[in-house]
Amino acid sequence: MPDTQVLEILVIAMIAGVILFRLYTVLGRRTGHEPPPPQAGRSDAPRAIAPPPSEAASATQSSPGLLEIQLADRNFEPQHFLQGAKSAYDLIVTAFQKGDRAALKPLLSDEVFAAFDGAIAARGSAQGPVLTSLRDARIAHASVTGGQAEITVAFSATFAEGKDVTDVWTFARRIADKNPNWTLVATSGDLPE
């Protein structure tokens, strides 16, 4: 009986040895698809030139504030946010142009709504500026303070009669809120420093 146990252990050990040897011979082999090792001191070696990233992508990749927001809210995606910000810009500018206070109210903070409401009242029955195209939008700044995320976006737009405008808007959202919508909390025409 003890001899069969020793024999079984020897057979299992041999099988394990064969498997380990096969793994050793396969792992670490070059297949021809690896990049060649860099050659030190050679300056004439060709270099791959990557296309320059877009401004929005570079802000997305380099902003520590965006990283903070992503760590706090696992569902946050900068590119998705930027698309939503573009839609919000169009909605807000169009509602302002038409004087539609009801459409503006849920999209703006109380302070920003008061400023927009005052501008609508000041112009009377005249229509506001008409947006003809939104050329670009990029994230200029992002931060998290006290559980509130804020992202500043620079919009480049053209209004009727060829008037080019750069609007800088700051959107905010409580990270713990179930509501994924952001609110416009500040507007200006200058990039923050």
Taken as a whole, the chain contains a residue count of 193
Residue 131 belongs to domain with CATH number = 3.10.450.240
Does residue 6 sit within a domain? no
- The pLDDT tens digits of the residues spanning 124-178 come to 888 888 888 899 999 999 999 999 999 999 999 988 877 889 999 999 999 988 8
Average pLDDT score over residue span 117-129: 87
Report how many domains make up the chain.
1
Q: Which residue has the higher pLDDT, 115 or 52?
A: 115
Does residue 81 sit within a domain? yes
Does residue 38 sit within a domain? no
What is the pTM for the complete model shown? 0.65
Does residue 71 sit within a domain? yes
Write phi, then psi, for 2 (nearest 5 degrees).
Answer: -65, -30
Does residue 39 sit within a domain? no
Does residue 122 sit within a domain? yes
Three-class DSSP labels, 91-126? HHHHHHHHCCHHHHHHHECHHHHHHHHHHHHHHCCC
What's the CA gap between 55 and 147, in Å, rounded?
27
Average pLDDT score over residue span 19-23: 78
